[in-house]
A = this chain, B = another copy of it.
Amino acid sequence: MKMFKTRTISLLMGLTLGLGAASSAYSQESLEDVMKARGLTQKDLLAAAKTYTPTGGRDEYMAFSSGGQSGHVIVYGIPSMRILKYIGVFTPEPWQGYGFDDESKAVLAQGRIMGKDIVYGDTHHPAFSEKDGEYDGRYLFINDKANPRLAVIDLHDFETKQIVVNPFFKSDHGGAFATPNTEYVMEASQYAAPYSSDFVPLEEFNDKYRGGVTYWKFDNKEGRLKPEESFTFELPPYSQDLSDAGKNASYGWGFTNSFCSERYVGGIERGRPPFEAGCSQKDTDFLHITNWKKAAELVAAGKVNKVNGSYLITMDQAVKEGLLYLVPEPKSPHGVDVNPKGDHIIVSGKLDSHAWVYSWPKIQDAIKNGKFEGKDPYGIPIIALKDALHTQVQVGLGPLHTQYDAKECVVYTSIYVDSMVTKWDYCEGKVLDQLNIHYNIGHLLAMEGDSVTPDGKYLVSLNKLSIDRFNPVGPLHPQNHQLIDISGDKMQLLYDMPLPLGEPHYVVAIKADKLQPAVRYKSGWNSRTDTKSEYATRAGREKVERDGNRVHVYGTVIRSHITPEIIEVEEGDEVSIHLTNLERAQDEVHGFAMYSQNVQLSIEPGKTATASFTAEKAGVYPYYCTEFCSALHLEMQGYLLVKPKGYQAKATEMQEGEQYTQADYDKQVKTNVETQGVIDSVVAFITSHNYKDFPTVVALVEDATDQLGFATEAKTKAEEYAAKGDYQNATLWAGQWWQYQVKTADLGLRAKTHLEENGAKKVK
């Protein structure tokens, strides 16, 4: 048929039709007209120019945001403020197959509490792994406040690899914070609770309820937290809040603030004033100072006992060993932030309009000289405010969190009640600039702002309320992250980014070029354990193994078929389908969904993923590829047939829907021969150029060679059937031969285009 041939040739020659899409001109509209029509000012245009990123452009920074009670981590680019990925961490997420494939279920199972699956998390504070106080772009840590846990995300593939459960706490807010060489990751408790899982009446709050801060040991080589080498400081039942690790001058120490050091227990329903009243009655709370370096030495020396199977440094031991001190801080604070040099520490209290700047040298002196104003009810020495304070600066109403600029002494503090950012100088103690935000800012974020060399440039205001900033979307509003240019003397608001899912608390941003994520896995890879999967399957080696009612299917996926296409099991069988993605091409992901079985895999190139389920009921269960992967994606399908127990098949043949003749076969072969000519010309082009200098092309050629190999196999089958006069099978195999040719050509053309667009040289 004419159309068919036109299509084939046209496809394989890569011809464009008619007008030449690449050169499509744009009409000369006036910029002024557009600005007028859209009501943009010159200032808006400048902001647009500072954020707009044309197709294919790259962002300078990559931001990693907690997703709050969504349980995810959110990745976005700065300055484009485009969200690039939600990473499933504590909450199952089917697009990624997270919590759906056996491999990721094993990660989530690490986070079980009292044997129970927890199906969400409340992520708060992400932290990058560090080397010498610089972000090294290798790992990201994030906490779950609701169910005190910590997760490790590998920035090689943006996947969650590990979840650990805190052995003592019943909530955590002050995590994650990494020490300067990621020796440890800090996690502080929030709401005091007994360390045991037993019932303890609130009447025993002061005696039996406890806070704490855990230092999780991190193995930088293995990329995993080591519970057996981690330790926890027992702390009073104050509500510990955020932490920060000391750096440079204060290296080896950690800082953790707190609220409700009144140890007040509410009970509005029984006539007691509520928590909010009793927890904000005193004018100060306590900053906790812990010496993790010396503590680690004690642990190594075998001097720390284990409780709940984990090292616990009791308050008595900590005080005795000089590991733990308190300093008064402004009441109900949120955020303690150590400056890049490590010699100043800034704390703001939400109910105090001042930021308090502490001097680390002064604190060290007090500790060295044993100069304390007293002890708290648990015997912990308290350093007097006057012996620790550098200065107090009035920054605004409801100050929360401070980030450091590249310029020395310059910081930015989020001001919740006043809905603004205050830029100020903590050395001289003066306010430099203020900018309104929209509305009610929580944390803020500067580029590499937690590292020893902050970059400045941009600030992001993490606003808790958006109210009227965006088109309305019902009673539940998006959050609003506002991008601010801080390169000049005055802050300039650039962009409002709505957060469409989740309620971020804190974000960290890293130079984009520090990240080198992979685009494919080694073939047959378990991405969660980072080892070769025991279920890895190569093309042609697909098989089904049965042991009693346990069935393992070793399958593969590739454009555009799943092998096997028909799976037969019996009612009651326990079925595991292991699928390996044979593709090497970037972005050639396949999915795998099945009717009514909660099966949904995301199988990136090279990955092996497993769907396990019980075939409870006899019936017919279609399955298919869920990632639109090729022109024949919809035809990438199959059937699971679950037979009743003891079912006896009748000896019937498959009914064919269509019959093909020799003429059909000849027509298909003619097409295929023409197609092969085109492939040959593409191959000639590629091999006559220095294609081996282009890794992308090498990968495409690898894939194309595979596909061509499959084409040859299909061709052989077609010819064998034709020789036997079976034109039904001959035609179908000839069709499949052509399908493989088309994929070969598609890959070849992509490679050819890449070479042309990237200045490949003719070599022969």
Contacts and interface: CB of A to CB of B under 8 A. Distances in A.
Given A69-B600, A598-B119, A655-B203, A38 B49 contact: yes
Contact of A21 (B69, B351, B434, B500): B434
A113 interface: yes
Interface stretch (A213-221, A279-287, A447-455): A279-287
A283 B147 CA distance: 58
A119 B92 contact: yes
Interface in A209-251: 209, 239, 241
Interface string A573-595: 00000000000001111010111
Contacts of A48: 45, 48-49, 51-52
Contacts of A41: 54
A545 interface: no
Contacts of A416: 631
A267 interface: yes
A77 B438 contact: no
B31 A45 contact: yes
A503 B627 contact: yes
A478 interface: yes
Contacts of A656: 264
Interface residues of A, number: 259
A589 B475 contact: yes
Interface in A366-382: none
Nearest to A470: B84
Contacts of A658: 262-264, 281-282
Contacts of A25: 490
Interface stretch (A131-139, A189-197, A289-297, A680-688): A189-197
Contact of A595 (B170, B198, B482): B170
A460 interface: no
Contacts of A638: 266, 275
Given A239-B634, A266-B565, A434-B20, A146 B595 contact: yes
A526 interface: no
B354 A3 contact: yes
B434 A561 contact: no
Contact of A259 (B24, B38, B515, B634): B634
Contacts of A52: 40, 44-45, 47-48, 51-52
Residue picked from A119, A275, A465, A654, most chain B C-beta under 10 Å: A275
Given A19-B431, A21-B435, A40-B49, A70 B95 contact: yes
A398 B619 CA distance: 35
A391 interface: no
Contacts of A564: 267-270
B619 A198 contact: yes
Interface string A37-78: 011111111111111111111110010000111111011110
A642 B518 contact: no
Contacts of A735: 273, 277-278, 280-281
A637 B442 contact: no
B276 A635 contact: yes
Nearest to A488: B27
A517 B286 CA distance: 45
Given A269-B564, A600-B146, A7 B352 contact: yes
Nearest to A525: B475
Contacts of A71: 94
A77 B197 contact: no
A200 interface: yes
A620 B1 CA distance: 75
A40 B54 contact: yes
A171 to B, nearest CB: 5
A531 interface: no
Interface in A74-118: 74-77, 82-86, 91-96, 100, 113-114, 116, 118
A190 to B, nearest CB: 7
Contacts of A731: 281
Interface in A484-509: 488-493, 496-498, 500-503, 505
Contact of A95 (B22, B67, B517, B598): B67
Nearest to A67: B95
A16 interface: yes
24 contacts: A3-B352, A4-B283, A21-B435, A22-B436, A27-B490, A34-B49, A55-B482, A70-B95, A84-B471, A85-B478, A95-B503, A100-B120, A203-B654, A205-B657, A259-B634, A262-B658, A270-B566, A273-B729, A273-B735, A276-B636, A276-B739, A277-B735, A281-B732, A475-B520
Q: Which 6 A-B pairs have the closest CB atoms?
A: A263-B657, A48-B52, A475-B604, A269-B564, A158-B474, A277-B736
Given A19-B432, A83-B500, 13 more contacts: A24-B434, A53-B496, A70-B93, A119-B598, A197-B619, A203-B652, A267-B565, A275-B561, A277-B735, A280-B739, A464-B629, A475-B518, A475-B607
